[in-house]
């Protein structure tokens, strides 16, 4: 099994990079375990003052791996999705920055908004498509970030929000050129 994340350490900062590029960094059970474990380790490490979470390839994260979810349903069970990662993000006692390097869709968009700060590349895009299949991914957090009316628009329509609009509505803190997204997150 290939490594699903790459971990980098800088003075005071730990970086978790999703490396499941062939699946646009979609979370399967193994990636969920890897990310949540890394977050818990960094939370306990006194040398780590801040965590940066980012993707590799063309996506931050496409959300849950639906191939795994469908297989679980076929077996009469329910896929875990990103449950461990969500729990680890919610429990993290240190600041976390999402360096959104491309598409952040579904659960990937929720992971990004669970982070304290979001720095997006100019080609980043966000989508909360849950309404299309009966879920409201981000429904509890999104209104606190962008306001009720904008959150309802994004949740009900499942439309794609490009980086420039994301900055305008407060979904991201800053937009930078793609080549600078990692450096901007580390600098902050």
Coil, strand or helix at 116: coil
Tell me the pLDDT band of 82, cut-offs 50, 70 and 90: confident
Summarize the confidence of residues 60-64 as an average pLDDT. Answer: 95
| pLDDT given at position 134 | 75
Mean pLDDT of the chain: 92
| Tokens encoding 45 | 């490490």
| pLDDT given at position 73 | 52
CA 125 to chain centre: 12
Residue scoring higher pLDDT (81 or 129) = 129
Bridge partner residues of 127 (DSSP): 105
Coil, strand or helix at 30: helix
Tell me the pLDDT band of 71, cut-offs 50, 70 and 90: low
Q: Is residue 68 within a helix (H) or strand (E), and if so which, with residue range?
A: helix 66-74
DSSP string, 16-83: EEE--GGGTT-B-HHHHHHHHHHHHHHHH-TT--EEEEE--TTEEE--B-HHHHHHHHHTTS---TTH
Q: In sequence order, which residues have a C-beta less than 8 Å from that of residue 95 and are 6 or more positions away? A: 49, 50, 51, 116, 117
Label residue 53 left, alpha or beta by phi (over 0 means left) and psi (-120 to 50 means alpha).
beta
| pLDDT given at position 77 | 54
| pLDDT given at position 2 | 60
| pLDDT given at position 1 | 45
Give the global pTM: 0.93
**144-182 pLDDT tens trace:** 999 999 999 999 999 999 999 999 999 999 999 999 999
| Tokens encoding 119 | 């720095």
């Amino acid at each position: 099994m290939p490594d699903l994340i790459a971990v980098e350490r800088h003075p005071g900062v730990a970086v978790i990079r999703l490396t499941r590029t062939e699946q646009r960094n979609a979370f399967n059970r193994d990636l969920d375990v890897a990310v949540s474990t890394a977050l818990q380790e960094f939370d306990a490490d006194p040398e780590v003052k801040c965590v940066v979470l980012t993707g590799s390839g063309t996506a931050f994260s496409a959300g849950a791996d639906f191939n795994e979810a469908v297989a679980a349903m076929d077996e009469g069970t329910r896929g875990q999705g990103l449950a461990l990662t969500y729990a680890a993000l919610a429990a993290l006692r240190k600041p976390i920055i999402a360096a959104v390097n491309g598409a952040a869709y579904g659960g990937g968009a929720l992971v990004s908004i669970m982070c304290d700060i979001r720095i997006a590349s100019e080609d980043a895009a966000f989508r909360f498509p849950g309404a299309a299949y009966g879920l409201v991914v981000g429904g509890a957090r999104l209104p606190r970030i962008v306001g009720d009316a904008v959150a309802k628009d994004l949740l009900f329509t499942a439309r794609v929000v490009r980086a420039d609009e994301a900055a305008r509505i407060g979904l991201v803190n800053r937009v930078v050129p793609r080549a600078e997204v990692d450096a901007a997150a580390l600098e902050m």
